[in-house]
Structure 1
Amino acid sequence: MLEFAPSSIRFSQNNISPTFTDGDSVHWVIDEIIAGRLSIQNFLPIKVAICYDGRFYTENNRTLYVCRVLQYEGVISNVEVQFIRPNQLQWRMTTDNEGSSVRIRRGETPRPHSVNQICCRVITDIVGVIGLFVAVCGCLWIWLSPTIV
């Protein structure tokens, strides 16, 4: 199976139900996976199609939402995908933002999951590591400089 970063897969719909077909809340599933009581493997692979714009869109919008939140939280980085024909998505293509994010019906507040939020989190993490490195180097320089001179 191929693996993709969840942020490289687009939503085909503009909104999702707050629950899976079995009644489990998408947010409950996220919390259970983070706590280690549930495995993301139970929800994979994510079915994707390459569409007219060259991007990968899914028919598993709730599962992608869960995976995007888990990627944002640093729990996962890649997910297994299975390719389907683009015509299997035609009736689902209701996205109004090129699939970068999705709304949750019934007024539930979504957790961070958009492509922009994930990219900003990664950049913030990198800047934090660089800042820590610079601070440690500065402290070492101050600590070692009397012995160097």
Structure 2
Amino acid sequence: MDVAFMKPSDIRFSKEFIPARFSNRDEINGVIAKLTLHPKLLNTIPMIVVSNRNTGEWHSQNNRRLYMFRVLERNGILDQIQVEISNRIIVPFTRDDGCHVIMLGQSKALKHCDCKLIVMS
């Protein structure tokens, strides 16, 4: 796979909903708080994998990490992230254009796009 640098805000979500926790049970917003205080820890976060649907739009295969990187970008912690580019075509499962995600089970969702963020419990 090729590697490139991209702004998180230039990458679209491929799913409409994300859980409030990573697979290791860490709360996403807790990790964001830790990275905000200790930005050097960003190097410990795995790259996200993106693919292009031949429409000029990049979609993420790692939506929870993309959400985290978008929040950090909006808060001025980072400008770009390193991504792996996959040839695998992703068919997005969103009702919108992939601009935002709905976080399930999270009482305080953080701003990650210019759209209205919906919180569901």
TM-score band (shorter)?
A: 0.7 to 0.9
TM-score w.r.t. the length of structure 2 is 0.85
SS for the counterpart of 1:80 is strand
Instruction: Flag the structure with higher strand content.
Output: 2
Residue 45 of structure 1 contacts residue 81 of structure 1 at CA under 8 Å; is this kept in 2?
Answer: yes
Q: Which ranges of structure 2 fall in alignment gaps of 5 or more residues?
A: 116-121
Aligned pairs (5 A) from 1:1-149: 1-36=3-38, 39-87=41-89, 89-90=90-91, 93-114=92-113, 116=114
Q: Is the 8 A contact 1:18 1:108 kept in 2?
A: no
Secondary structure at 1:33's aligned position in 2? helix
Which residue identity does 1:10 align to in structure 2?
R
Q: Deviations over 1:106-125 (max 9, x none)?
A: 253321101x27xxxxxxxx
The alignment's TM-score, normalised by the length of structure 1, stands at 0.70
**Which AA in structure 2 matches 1:109?**
K
Greater RCO, 1 or 2 (C-alpha within 8 Å, sep 6+)? 2
- Structure 1 residue runs of 4+, over 6 Å off? none
* Aligned length, in residue pairs: 113
Report the CA distance between 1:94 and its aligned residue.
1.2
Distance in 1, Cα, partners of 2:16 & 2:54: 18
CA distance in 2, matches of 1:103, 1:75: 22
1-structure distance, mates of 2:70, 2:79: 9
Q: What is the RMSD computed on CA atoms of the aligned residues?
A: 1.7
- Provide, for residues 63-116 of structure 1, a one-character-per-residue CA deviation record: whole Å limited to 9, x for no partner: 0000000000000000001011233x33xx2122111011101253321101x2
Report if aligned partners of 2:13, 2:101 keep a CA contact under 8 Å in 1: yes
Give the CA deviation at 1:38.
6.7
Distance 1:86 1:95 in 2: 18
Which entry has the higher C-alpha Rg, 1 or 2?
1
Residue 39 of structure 1 aligns to a residue whose secondary structure is helix
